[in-house]
Structure 1
Amino acid sequence: MTLRTNLFPDPNVANTIFKCVPMLCTVDFPTVSGFRWLRATTSGSGDIYAQYQLTGVDLPRAGVYHIHAICYAQGSGALFRVYAGVGNGFTILHETGIADNETKVIDADITIPANATQLLIRVVPPSTVGKFILIREILLESKSTYATAVGGGGFRASSPATPCHSADAAHRDGDAR
């Protein structure tokens, strides 16, 4: 039996205890077709983004992980990025572009270095004021427990409070707790 755990602290994008930090954009949390999204809408110019910062007890240990998310962009030039804070700088662990009017499933392996002090999960909306990027179903799971045989993780993976076992993961509905 393989224990699978989503290490992302806010899998339901509730923005209650674990908050998204916006820069030069507005953030809201609409529900569309039954799914809750984080929407980052450009409101200025410069280094525009919305991000989650995993530090301290929320920072996974060094190792190989699988990152999953679903993104949609209205406008061109949107990005999904994952950074590791190392020393006084940041290293990009993963980057995916999202085209105008595109829904993209992000599935990538990342390696968190041993000397990382934080992990940033960032979305960059298009640079045009009023355009936006949406993100949902954020999953950060140890690569060793990421099970493609049961759907490859994603929304079937559990929240931090509810580990799911590979034997019953296929029977879970959404992000059931």
Structure 2
Amino acid sequence: MPGLGATQTFSSDDLIFLSDEQLRQGIEAMFFAYRGFTADPDRILAELDYGRAHHRAIHFINRAPGTTVTNLLAILGVTKQSLNRVLRRLISDGLVESRVGTLDKRERHLHLTEAGCELEGRLSDAQRARLRAAFRDAGPEAVAGFRQVLEAMMDPDMRRAYAKLREGRV
């Protein structure tokens, strides 16, 4: 069976029996695709001396304005110490605002400031442009298959969190 070429098609029976070499090629394609997907935002972040952790926090705060620190910890799967370091910087730089909860004063609800929204827009615009071009080139069936593969690779807890996010129930 040949490698995972761009023009090659597989039946469902073929996919069950992918060779280790074909799987290795898939792994490598994911690594290189991720590098491409993060390249444009990384350049923007580097100008501000931020990293991908800052990008992820900004992205998910934007997706769920008012999310709690506890919820963001669960989504990102990072330690409290790591997230606090990122949030302190984003707050001190005026990109994120932390508000005390109205029902539970121990909760901290996170919101992007106007500057935070502008940065999030620049970062997301770069990634949307890359995805839009790739999806356009690949076609609707490939896009549906790609999403199906990504969801199948998620652990069950992550799949549930992703479903909640998609449904706006964060």
Q: TM-score, normalised by structure 2?
A: 0.25
Larger relative contact order, structure 1 or 2 (CA cutoff 8 Å, min sep 6):
1
Structure richer in helix, relative to its length: 2
Q: Of the two, which has the highest radius of gyration? A: 2
Structure richer in strand, relative to its length: 1
Q: TM-score, normalised by structure 1?
A: 0.24
